[in-house]
Structure 1
Amino acid sequence: MATIPHILAPRIAGMNGIRHGFFGRQGGTSEGIYDSLNLGLGSDDKPKAVMRNRRLVADQIGATEVDHLLSCHQVHSDIAILATMPWGPNRPQADGMVTNLPGIALCILTADCVPVLFADRKAGVIGACHAGWKGALGGICEATIAKMEEAGAQRKDIHAAVGPCIGQESYEVGPEFRDTFLAEAPWSANLFHPGEGDRFHFNIETFVKNRLTKQKLAWVDVIGHDTCEMDDMYFSNRRRNHRGEPDYGRQGSVIMLED
């Protein structure tokens, strides 16, 4: 089986019994603006191409069935759920997933938002969340950690990895966006760098890292790839908007306990 390009988080990669990967846009079967590893069930790509791509990722991560690669209907919430079995096409509305069952692969879909993978090897509990700005500010990372604790994890043993997401130089926002953050998280003021006119450039990657660090986890890795800037490696909604394209693909960040 050919290896599908993906990035590993150093600490989680060293854990026996846990498979994971931050997959980009390379190595799939989709064409055109979805070239090529589009995993987005909600995109306008050909459904058969998306399912072939998901099969490739499931094989790469070691899931025995493609329906064991679970994705939620992500809604920029603070909702994290426990995955106890494959849920088929009726995806639950949530932005965080947790499981303690081997063979269930948790797949977060992004195209600039922040994917976070979590692992407590001692307890045999893993998690994953989709942290767009609303979810990050609203507490999706904290909700996912809490759900992991309900499943038997201890935060002092949880390792987290912040995956590829939009970088600060690419993430231009307005003053009302900054005001929203400062009202809820005054400590984030230094994450907004002045841009042209009344614009700012926001470092959402560091915002998420800092939120995770405050949870006193064992470790937080940061991949540090700018999805908007790295056209050949990642899908990006912000880049799509700049180009006026009608749609965009989604890359997957995946973690699974081995059988």
Structure 2
Amino acid sequence: MQVTAPSLAALPGIRHAFFTRQGGVSSGIYGSLNAGLGSNDSQDNVRENRRRMAESLGVTADALISCFQIHSPDVVVADRPHAGGDRPRADAVVSATPGIACGVATADCGPVLFADPRAGVVGAAHAGWKGALSGVLEATIGAMEGLGARRGSMVAAIGPLIRQPSYEVGDAFVAQFTAADAGHARFFVPGKPGHAQFDLPGFIAHRLAAAGITAIEDLGLDTYADGERFFSYRRATHRKEPDYGRHIAAITLAG
């Protein structure tokens, strides 16, 4: 049902999980632990799946906080259970409140979980290429500092995401990155003519390190290649499937 990062699991008072697609009630292309509130899956199934995730983290279902994600650098601070209604439009959640789980949904993009156990602050960021390039990781770190964390004390873990052998991009994509910084060329290797293979986890780790995070763990898991355990937007697209499931990665201060 979930994988964990040893670096986070070793921290006192912290619970976390990178949930897989296994252990839920959904069926078909959503089988089985689909957490996608924006998917076309039965919303009753999605709610039950999210309840199971929350339970495994030791929080109530309404305390598993995730956003309406828009591939932005925007961050929200969560200090209470979700009261219903529309979810905030953002791509990261941070909290210093025990019993609140900061969550992000992914299906190839990079889930990054953060913790400063000394300060009692946690966070979760949805780092696809757009968010990572526009600063969602740095914004998450800054928001955690606003709650009393120190970046020198933070631990960050990069969960299951699409990895370089599976991530083909076009020359225009490469140009967008190298226009921002010529040094970004090192995150690409040649592919077929007019294409390259992008190292998203390498880019995420680079941004984290440049922001002053020294404790960075990459779980090394590829969502595209491991269809038994993980959903993948790109794999679903290649198979011409009508939709795809989403995972949750979440972290909480034990109440």
Percent identical residues: 48
- Can you list the C-alpha shifts for 1:116-163, whole angstroms capped at 9, x where unaligned? 000000000001100111100000000000000000000000000011
> Secondary structure of 1:226's match?
coil
1:255 corresponding residue in structure 2: 251
Aligned to 2:76: 81
Q: Structure 1 counterpart of 2:70, which letter? A: V
Q: Deviations over 1:192-235 (max 9, x none)?
A: 11111111000011000110011222400001101000000000
Which one of the candidate residues 61, 74, 77 is aligned to 1:66? Answer: 61
User: Please, which runs of 5 or more residues in structure 1 have no aligned partner?
Assistant: none
CA deviation after TM superposition for structure 1 residue 185, in Å: 2.6
Counterpart in 2 of 1:156? 152
Deviation at 1:168, TM superposition (A): 0.5
2:117 aligned with 1:121:
yes
List aligned pairs for 1:1-259, cutoff 5 A.
5-63=1-59, 65-87=60-82, 88-259=84-255
Aligned length, in residue pairs: 254
SS of aligned partner of 2:17: strand
Q: For structure 2, which runs of at least 5 residues remain unmatched after alignment?
A: none
Q: CA RMSD in A?
A: 0.8
How big is the shift at 1:86? 2.1
CA shift, 1:89, in A, is 3.5
TM-score relative to the length of structure 2: 0.98
- TM-score where L is the length of structure 1: 0.97
